[in-house]
Structure formats: structure tokens, C-alpha cells
Structure 1
Amino acid sequence: MVRRLLPIAVALLLVTSGCVGLITGETVTFEASPATVSDSTLDSTGYELQNATQTNVTRDVTVAGQDRTVRLVTERRQYTRSGTILGVEVVELSRFIVVSIPSANVAGQTLNPAADWANRRVLEAVQGQTGGVDDVEPAGNRTVQALGADRRVSEYTGTTEVAGQSVDVRLHLVSFQHEGDIVIGVAVHPENVDETDAVDDLLSGLQHSGD
């Protein structure tokens, strides 16, 4: 009797959680809410929104013995500040990228592995978005207030290439769950340009409201 009731209970859970498509065979979409920096924070730090993109990733899952497809919609915002380094005017001297990923969970199955990633694994995943930083090494941690709670920010050092020359850079990384999404923030800037206060302000100025 228990075995007969279990699939029914799972089906009921999916229906009541809005995942009817997993029962009918349709593709179900989990969408993240955008995480953005407030306009007042951008004005005070000198950063500007460079681009806003949306990424779709599909995954196959097995629910109640049936193969189904889910789509995860990720939101990404990149902010930049210009400046001069090595005598060269660089449009993207400092960058701050914030990504929100739906922390989807169906019938106890986590559909987004990033929910369990350590910061180092998150950094590896987003390293392609930081402009090709090499020789990444840990450089400490600090705590910043963001979206209503204290968040641990991990710092790293590394190198990148600017105008054909190697430049030492510093990265700041934070990853946490908020309102049903995973929010990841990463900033990168030259080591000799102290952006720590600006990065903290950007994190404190984050806005996000999950569905």
C-alpha cells in the first residue's frame, strides 16, 4: 500500500509546487530573479551597468520513474568602472559581476549543483567571466552585509594581461542563497587600485527579490 501511495504523494507535491509539467511530460522552467545594484550605489561608486544577459540551461531528471526535462534560467549583470593603468585608459578597469541562479529542488532532488559548491569551485566556474585571471591564490576573508545578512567574502590574488603586460589583480567572491535563488558576486580589479570599499558598497547595494 505504501509503495502505491508514494508515486501519488510525489505527484501531489509536484502539482502543488507548480511543477505540473513534470507530470504531463512538458518542459518545466525555473527562473531566477535578477540580482542588481541600486542606482544610488552605482552613482556613489562610479560603476555603470555594462550588460544584462539571461542564460538557459536544460537538465534531464527522473521523477517518479519518468524522465523529464527542466530548464534553468540564470540572470547575469556586469558592472564596470573605467580608469588608467600602465598609462593606458581601460574601459573595464574594475568589474563587478552578479549572477542569480534558480535553486531548484524537485522531490528532494537538487537540480542546481551550484547550491553545494564551495567558493573555490564557484570561482572556477565563473573564472571565464573575469577576463582570464591566472595564478589564482587565496588572500583572506571578510564579512559584508548584503541582502539583509552578513555574507563571507573570499579574496584572491592573480594575474591578467593588460596592453601586453602582466598585471597583478585582486578578486572578491561571495556566494549565498536568497529568496529561492543562488546569488554569486565576483569583482576583479588591479592589485594597486584599492577597490575594497567600492566592492563592499556594491554588495551592500544589491537588490533581489525571488518569486
Structure 2
Amino acid sequence: MTYSRRSVLAAGATGSLALTAGCLDFVLGNGPLEFNADRVAPTDGALEETGYQEKEVREESLDRTVELPGGVERDVSASIWASVYTKQVEYAGQKREGAAFAAVSVPGMEIAGRSVNPIDDMSNKELLERFMSQVETEQGAIEDITHEGSFQLEILGDSRTVDTFIGESELEGQTIEIELKLTSFDHEGDLPVLIGLYPKMLTEEAANAEVLMESVEHPVEG
């Protein structure tokens, strides 16, 4: 039983589930209710323009137990798409994998008119902490992340708020500043999360992250 949209709706004022054959196992507790996201990703043209290379495209599973009306607990499972791209950049006198971009798509998850998506209420700072592992590069862990500002970008036909964060990382014994950009929004029943990461000193990569964000397609065909 698979749903690609927020398609499990209340059947009436009591909030009971519509008992289709596909939902019966879920209602009886014999199997999880599944939600599938559509992949989001930058275009090939934008990747070529900015010099980023595909590193990994993967589908992950998010499983959780939710409480339905009446205190009944049931399992839900969500498939999440993550498309990750990196770039060799030169800084500190060396060329290394130092910039990254991730496009993550999480399905909308709604049962009986109530969201059961664990990231629905997260701020962009919380989303960054949740998904930063998607954009790891060859520098060390990023710490002391603070919010620096926000701006608007036209993404998927609408103006989206992009938050900029600054963190610190260690490179060969020296502390360097890392800039991160993140935006998240509802689109076609999913929640795309777009993240760019690069050394702050490389101002060209700030522009490249925006090019990649503006180019994304959702759902990706093929």
C-alpha cells in the first residue's frame, strides 16, 4: 500500500480512515502505511554551469510509530530521496572536495487530517542539523552554526525564503568559516529541502549554490 501524496484523509467528522483494501492492513495493525516522495534535483545544465558532479543519489526509509484517534498506535514508513553533488575547489593552497549541494525530498504524511511528518514543524536551522550529513565534504565537522540572514529566490515557480548560516570547521589545524544556504517549502505534496555548503571565502560558490537552487526540478522525470 503506497501513497505518493497526502492522500490518507478523514472519512468524516469522527476522523476515521477511509477503509480501502490498501488501508486495511494499516488500520488492523498488520502492516505500515507507506508514503513515497518524488525526487527533486538540479538540472544537468545548472550542474555543468557550476562545475558540480553527481556524488550519490539514494532513496532512504523513515519509519515511525504514530498514535491515531482513540490512542491506537500504528506504523508508517516514508521513502526520502537524497541527491548529492560535490565540487573540487581550491583553498588553503590545495584543491579538494570542498563544496557540496544536496536536494532532499520528504513526502507529505497526513492521516485523518493530521500531519505525522516529523520534520513538518522544524525550523530551517533544525532542518539543517537534521540533513547536514547529506552534504559532508573533505573538511572536518562543522560547528558553532549561527543564522546570518535570509533572502528570496524564485524556485519552482514561486518566491522561496533561503536562510544563510555560518559555521566553523578545521582544515589542517586552521579554523575556516563555512557558509551554508538552506531552503525548504511544500511542493506537489512533498517537502523539498535544498542545502548548499562551501568555504565562505569562495564567494563564487555562493552564487553557484543559488543557481543550483533556482534550477531544481520536482518531480524529476525518468
Tell me the TM-score range normalised by the shorter chain: 0.7 to 0.9
- 1:32 corresponds to: 37
Per-residue displacement from partner, 1:83-130 (whole Å, max 9, x unpaired)? 11111110x211111111111000022111211211122122223344
1:45–1:198 contact (8 Å) kept in structure 2: yes
Matched, 1:81 2:87: yes
Task: Give the conservation status (yes or no) of the 8 Å contact 1:127–1:133.
Answer: no
Residues 108 and 117 in structure 2, CA contact (< 8 A), matched pair in contact too? yes
Q: Distance in 2 between matches of 1:76 and 1:129?
A: 8
Sequence identity percentage:
27
Q: Distance in 1 between matches of 2:126 and 2:51?
A: 30
Shift of 1:6: 5.9
* 1:102-121 mapped onto 2 (5 Å cutoff): 102-121=107-126
Q: Structure 1 counterpart of 2:120, which letter?
A: A
State which of 174, 177, 185 in structure 1 corresponds to 2:194.
185
Q: Please list every run of 5 or more consecutive structure 1 residues that lacks an aligned counterpart in the other structure.
A: none
Q: Quick check: 1:22–1:63 contact (8 Å CA) kept in 2?
A: no
Q: What's 2:207 paired with?
A: 197
Q: Which runs of 4+ in 1 moved over 4 A?
A: none
Q: Show the counterpart of 1:41.
A: 46
Corresponding residue SS for 2:58:
strand
TM-score by length of 2: 0.83
List per-residue Cα deviations over 1:132-173 (Å, max 9, x = no partner): 211212211111111111111111111112234321111101
1:176 matched to 2:185? The reply is yes
Aligned residues: 202
Q: Which has the higher strand share?
A: 1
Structure 2 CA distance for aligned equivalents of residues 39 and 103 of structure 1: 26
Q: 1:24, CA displacement in angstroms?
A: 4.1
C-alpha change, 1:27 and 1:196, in structure 2 (3 Å) is same
1:23 is matched with which residue? Answer: 27
For the aligned residue pairs, the C-alpha RMSD in angstroms reads 2.1
* Residue identity opposite 1:125 in structure 2: R
SS of the residue aligned with 2:17? helix
By how many angstroms is 1:23 displaced?
Answer: 2.4
* Offset at residue 200 of structure 1 (A): 1.2
1:148 to 134, 150, 157: 157
| C-alpha distance after superposition, 1:18-60 (max 9, x if no partner) | 6444224322211111111111111111111111122112111
Looking at structure 2, the residues matched to 130 and 160 of structure 1 have their Cα atoms a distance apart, in angstroms, of 14
Relative to its length, the structure with more helix (as a share) is 1
What's the TM-score once normalised by structure 1's chain length?
Answer: 0.87
